[in-house]
Structure 1
Amino acid sequence: MSDQPDPRRFLETDRADGSIYNDPALFDLEMDRIFMHNWIWVAHRSEIPEPGDFITTFVGPHPVIVSRDRKGAVHVMLNRCRHRAATVCEQHKGNTASFVCPYHGWAYGLDGALRGVPHQNGYGQDLDKASLPLVNLRVEEYQGLIFATFDHAIPDLDSWLGAAKPWIDLFMKQGAGWPVKTMGEHKFTFPGNWKIQLENTTDAYHFPIVHKSFLDSVDQETQDILNFVGGTGFVEDLGHGHSVMVMIPELVDLDENLDAPIPERFLELADQLAETYPPEKVRQIIRAVGGSGFNLNLFPNLACSMAFFRVLRPLGVAQTEIRHIAIGMDGGPDIANQARLRLHEHFQGPMGFGTPDDAEAWDRVHRGALAGRDIPILLNRGLAHEEKRADGNLYSDVSAETGMRAAYRQWLVAMTGEPAEETVA
């Protein structure tokens, strides 16, 4: 359509036009070209462990049901009755044998098949139930992460994740030998564009400034560990808009360096665990409790962020929903999972030190971007010393904006349908 904005005018290699955050027509285009034609994270396996389990969530603006059928297969279906479009499920999660529309009673199986229609004789021979299931999206899974897409023509999930897969594998070591499980969440909205949060996950530059109150709340040993800006970490472009920010290199692989000293804040927990577990297992659990030393950004809506999942959902051009999902050890010691929850609450919780400060910064970015015209958003930090690894991945120092540039390159690919330009380092 001629009235659609040209995405190329919003973005250059090292900067973006400020209106990339606040153009309503551009936002509408994003909901179509990005959120209907890419792999979107919808759930973790542990949220629907048993047959009949389901959760309700969204793929972009589209309400969906994620369910596990009686054979164990996972389905992601539009939460919309095929009769008059009413949602067929309003519970956030549960276990059921079927989904029944509350308006006219049409009943659907866990796989979305239309099973029953009240007073079906009213349709005569004109109703073919087999042709009217809940609309199923394409579904694939990696390491317990469940993704869905409307687009049946895009490459498989394995190809999409690509170089991000080894980092997902490392992140899942937070199970300490047990599977990772979700342990509850909180969600909130902030008055700003979704891309502002997308940029944040691999932005170390802000940490000592925005999160000074958090740093003041922890012991000196923890402050020293988190003093990573200017350190030996890095940010790497993993392709397809994904990126990783390694803040604490010694905590990348939680199965390594198990003989390292136990941080003082975990000594009491270690003593309690030692009553049940041998020393090496205690150290493995303690390292898992502290979380990984990196943030992994999976374009466009999931962050595996040190010790939790952060999920974004665009609600409007100037409103975004954020979910912070705590994770723990499925089968691991309760006291260790409780310790993880306390750490999660300290930073990510609604009364914590990190989330309110982040949300305030995101709000300010959106409001500030409304000031003036043709003033660029700079994305050039670390560009001057960005290098290329043997596999072609670009990387730079830990405070570089390499991750943001990675996301915007994929944004432009998705928005235009044109391949990414070759980058030179």
Structure 2
Amino acid sequence: MNAETKPIHLHRNVDELVRADRVHTSLYTDAALFDSEMEKVFRNTWVWVAHASEVAEPGQFKTTHVGTEPVIVVRDRKQKIHVLLNRCRHRGATVCEHKKGKTASFVCPYHGWAYGLDGALRSVPFPDSYGQMLDKGEFPLPGLRVEQYAGMVFATFKADIEPLVDYLGPAKKWMDLFMKQGGGYPVKAAGEHRFTFNGNWKIQLENTTDAYHFPLVHKSFLSSVDAQTERMLDFVAGPGYVEDLGNGHSVMVMIPELVDLEHDLDAPVPDRYAELAEHLRATHDETTVRRIVRAVGGSGFNLNLFPNVACSMAFFRVLRPIAVDKTEIHHVAIVMDGGPEQANQARLRMHEHFQGPMGFGTPDDSEAWERVQRGAQAGPDLWILLNRGLPGETVTPDGLKSDVSAETGMRAAYRQWKKLMTA
């Protein structure tokens, strides 16, 4: 038997499922493998849970998941951010069902156990029945380890994991560049679009650094933009690149001249932003106008942070695995906190144009992702090819690099997947 037809014994040799130039289709379809990922990947690495602006004030919270486990992200009165398991210590009910809000405490609706913003158990109704058997100090909402970088909040179940800054490594400089979309103001999360697709989470993970599909899948989007923007987005044969940044992270640079949004501010203002620039000139100096206008258009790269978040040109894309064949996606719009209203409106309209439920990009992407999942059922021993760009891959100080349509970012993610799954 050759490499394409040799049977794979999934649960004995997980390391055989990822090779240098391909991965086995069972990574999309094996439910037992999915369950193992939730333990070995999502419980053993740093997982993105929020942008700090989503919990800017004491008592502000959002609910989300680390893998499949429900958590609450909340800022306490001392300004510390906590990530708490969303599960009452009494009988296991969730203590919060709201997506976001502001509160002084979390009270279980089943039996009324009340918890502080730090997770401590504060009160229990009718405590006399417990006698001396209940020590409230023994029953807080369990908290995860939490660290931040560039306003992005990460959490982990693993107590002895490396510091977040070490885990991010060379990705940090790209996060710093991405945050220049504040245009001189702080970056703020401004709501999100959520949707599910019938496919495995890793299919979407691959997509963020996949330039190869862009001119094919997004023809309808390209037909909806002005000629100047269409030329800018014709990048597959351009000078861009994909770079492996270590630990599963990667960056796809599509428009090199927009990597640093504060570089060459004297360049002509794109025609599509001429009206916005003229409006801003009434209240801002020319340098500030150009900085804001440049920020409105977004960065020229996609940054993938393994395993669940991307800084994608002008928004955060967050994936939430639900089942082996079902994934929830959050497209989080970002604006300039305190920035000009017209500039922020322009950013939101741009977000809706591509990412929104009536936009051009998201429906096409999700259709492609679901087709991959359906196609994965076509045979018991098939492989997904990830060899594009391998012949031209070179070593850099940060990792490995190839052309913009290379599958370097996918190979990076699967190397990290394999490392965690076989640890």
TM-score > 0.5, shorter chain as reference: yes
Moved more, 244-253 or 152-161: 152-161
Output the amino acid matched with 1:403: G
Residues 185 and 339 in structure 2, CA contact (< 8 A), matched pair in contact too: yes
Aligned with residue 121 of structure 1, among 117, 121, 128? 128
Q: Does residue 70 in structure 1 map to residue 80 in structure 2?
A: no
Task: Find the residue that maps to 2:29 and give its secondary structure.
Answer: coil
Residues 245 and 398 in structure 2, CA contact (< 8 A), matched pair in contact too: no
The aligned counterpart of 2:332 is: 325
Q: Does residue 164 in structure 1 map to residue 171 in structure 2?
A: yes
Residues 170 and 245 in structure 2, CA contact (< 8 A), matched pair in contact too: yes
Q: Distance in 2 between matches of 1:90 and 1:289?
A: 34
Superposition pairs for residues 225-236 of structure 1, below 5 Å? 225-236=232-243
Aligned with residue 297 of structure 1, among 284, 304, 309? 304
CA offsets 1:133-163 (integer angstroms, 9 cap, x no match): 0010110011110001111011011111011
Output the amino acid matched with 2:306: F
The aligned counterpart of 1:111 is: 118
TM-score, length basis structure 1 = 0.96
Output the amino acid matched with 1:407: A
Give the CA deviation at 1:375.
Answer: 2.3
Aligned with residue 261 of structure 1, among 248, 261, 268? 268
Superposition pairs for residues 258-407 of structure 1, below 5 Å? 258-389=265-396, 391-407=397-413
The aligned counterpart of 2:150 is: 143
Superposition pairs for residues 53-64 of structure 1, below 5 Å? 53-64=60-71
TM-score, length basis structure 2 = 0.97
The aligned counterpart of 2:217 is: 210
Q: Distance in 2 between matches of 1:3 and 1:189?
A: 27
Q: Distance in 1 between matches of 2:51 and 2:317?
A: 12
Output the amino acid matched with 1:363: E
Residues 10 and 17 in structure 2, CA contact (< 8 A), matched pair in contact too: no
Aligned with residue 178 of structure 1, among 164, 180, 185? 185
Task: Find the residue that maps to 1:21 and give its secondary structure.
Answer: helix
Task: Find the residue that maps to 1:372 and give its secondary structure.
Answer: coil
Q: Distance in 2 between matches of 1:138 and 1:208?
A: 41
Q: Distance in 1 between matches of 2:196 and 2:294?
A: 32
The aligned counterpart of 1:197 is: 204
Output the amino acid matched with 2:119: G
Aligned with residue 19 of structure 1, among 17, 20, 26? 26
Q: Distance in 2 between matches of 1:350 and 1:239?
A: 33
**Unaligned regions of 5+ residues in structure 2, if any?**
1-8
Q: Distance in 2 between matches of 1:34 and 1:6?
A: 17
Q: Distance in 1 between matches of 2:399 and 2:93?
A: 46
Task: Find the residue that maps to 1:192 and give its secondary structure.
Answer: coil
Give the CA deviation at 1:373.
Answer: 2.8
Residues 5 and 25 in structure 1, CA contact (< 8 A), matched pair in contact too: no
**Unaligned regions of 5+ residues in structure 1, if any?**
418-425
